[in-house]
Structure 1
Amino acid sequence: MADPNKPAIDALLADLAAAHIGATFNQFRDAGPDDLPDAPAIRLANLRSYLDERLEADVVAVGEAAGYQGMRWSGIAFTSEFDLLRWGAPYRRSSRRARPWKEPSGTIVHGVLEELDAERRVILWNTVPTHPHLPAKPLSNRRPTQGEIAAGRAFVERLIDITQPRLLIGVGRIACAALPGAQYVRHPAQSGATAFRLGMRALLATPP
């Protein structure tokens, strides 16, 4: 069956690939020295496949921003190359690194979703879908600016308008503040894993 949201998703991804969000690195447009030659296209294809697999998702969970161990390489929020290898085709790594990148927060997030059999129920996204890093330190993370949050929020709002989720979750204070109406869950980073797990279990206890 054809997906009626496909044109809107295609437009969203095309605009995301062309976006300039403050001083962030747009992993869907740009490549660095550790990237494969077609890395931006790989990451965009990963995100497209991820969304295609979640046509029936009833939850959108939004984090803060792309991180240097996760979405920067995978193209998917809270997801690392390690996760892509676990999932298999059509997902592909985009880095030249001998060992796949692995993100601690992403490991926690996917662990909970798999425990609850909710991987396909939940679309993971970020308030800032590109990578904020410290000046001259591409393998770092920094807090996004208010301007970057505002620019990124426009993409979140479009995703929400397309998918019409039953439940919107803000993972962390930044995401929750940027998205009125989102249900707050503690971010899993910085000793937040237990609170995150408890919060997600409570919110996802109700089946779709």
Structure 2
Amino acid sequence: MSANEFICELQSFSSERVFNPYRNVCPNCDLSDAAVTRSRNLVSVLEAVHASGVDTIWVARDLGYRGGRRTGVPLTDEVHLNSVERLLGTGSLARATQGDVVAERTAAVIWKLLGRIGSPVMLWNVFPFHPHDEGKPMTNRCHTAKERELTLPFLWYLIEFLRPKQLVAIGRDAQAALEDSPIPVINVRHPSYGGQREFSETLAQFYGIDMPSAPKQETMSFFV
């Protein structure tokens, strides 16, 4: 299966209380061709990481309404689309939304650390769509066990496609999804609810880089 064929499979998924950024268009935030733009963004990422032989996948839980829902790129908000281009060599990635650029705190933590590491990785989610509360599209909820069962094959296809040597499970939901993986997994705390420093320090140690000293972090609640 090619990157384009993989995107077609993602586009075919539809479910209640779920926004599929590769299929759906938000009437309030999106440009008219938003789903096409996000699909192209993800194809560019997949083709770039495959061509460069990226050997590590970082896996988190779901797409967030301020991040991957808008960009089509997991764990990436609009602020960091240029960071994707520089790190992965994708060429230009396009915005799919109108109005002001929207930032996501989780994406900021992820990309700040990736900038220090300097090594390209593939970013993904156990549930590669945006689950939201009933009637509240701009909220984040955790995917259900049934939703995970339906979409986990996407993760295993991605692993087969890229053949990574290392997986990074970000948060307990990702850890649970990868517990039977035949590929080595490093489990890290999700950088939310006060976990930012522990997340960064664990991965800095794993990649052998120094982290600058930081002031005590206040507990913040953002996308998990």
TM-score (norm 1): 0.89
Identity of aligned residues (%): 29
Q: In the alignment, what sits opposite 1:43? A: 38
Count of aligned pairs:
197
Residue 20 of structure 1: how far off its partner (Å): 2.2
Q: Which of 7, 10, 15 is 1:13 aligned to?
A: 7
- The amino acid of 1:75's aligned partner reads G
After TM superposition, the structure 1 = structure 2 runs for residues 168-179 of structure 1, keeping only pairs within 5 Å, are 168-179=167-178
Q: In the alignment, what sits opposite 2:118? A: 117
Q: In the alignment, what sits opposite 2:207? A: 204
SS at match of 2:79: helix
Aligned-partner Cα distance in 1 for 2:47–2:195: 30
Q: Are 1:142 and 2:137 an aligned pair?
A: no
Q: In the alignment, what sits opposite 1:192? A: 195
Residue 134 of structure 1: how far off its partner (Å): 0.8
Q: 1:47 and 1:93, CA in 2 relative to 1: closer, same or farther beyond 3 A? A: same
SS at match of 1:53: helix
Aligned-partner Cα distance in 1 for 2:147–2:84: 31
CA contact (8 A) 1:21 1:151 kept: no
Instruction: Give 4+ residue runs of structure 1 displaced > 3 Å after superposition.
Output: 85-89
Residue 87 of structure 1: how far off its partner (Å): 5.3
* Deviations 1:143-185, CA, capped at 9 Å, x for gaps: 1111112222110010001111010111100011011243211
Residue 191 of structure 1: how far off its partner (Å): 1.3
- The amino acid of 1:203's aligned partner reads F
Q: In the alignment, what sits opposite 2:126? A: 127
Q: Which of 5, 14, 18 is 1:24 aligned to?
A: 18
Residue 65 of structure 1: how far off its partner (Å): 0.2
The two structures, once aligned, show a CA RMSD in angstroms of 1.7
CA contact (8 A) 2:18 2:129 kept: yes
Q: 1:152 and 1:199, CA in 2 relative to 1: closer, same or farther beyond 3 A? A: farther
CA contact (8 A) 1:116 1:201 kept: yes
Aligned-partner Cα distance in 2 for 1:192–1:137: 27
Aligned-partner Cα distance in 2 for 1:203–1:101: 31
Aligned-partner Cα distance in 2 for 1:202–1:154: 31
Residue 136 of structure 1: how far off its partner (Å): 0.9
Aligned-partner Cα distance in 2 for 1:204–1:159: 23
Q: In the alignment, what sits opposite 2:71? A: 74
Aligned-partner Cα distance in 1 for 2:13–2:154: 10
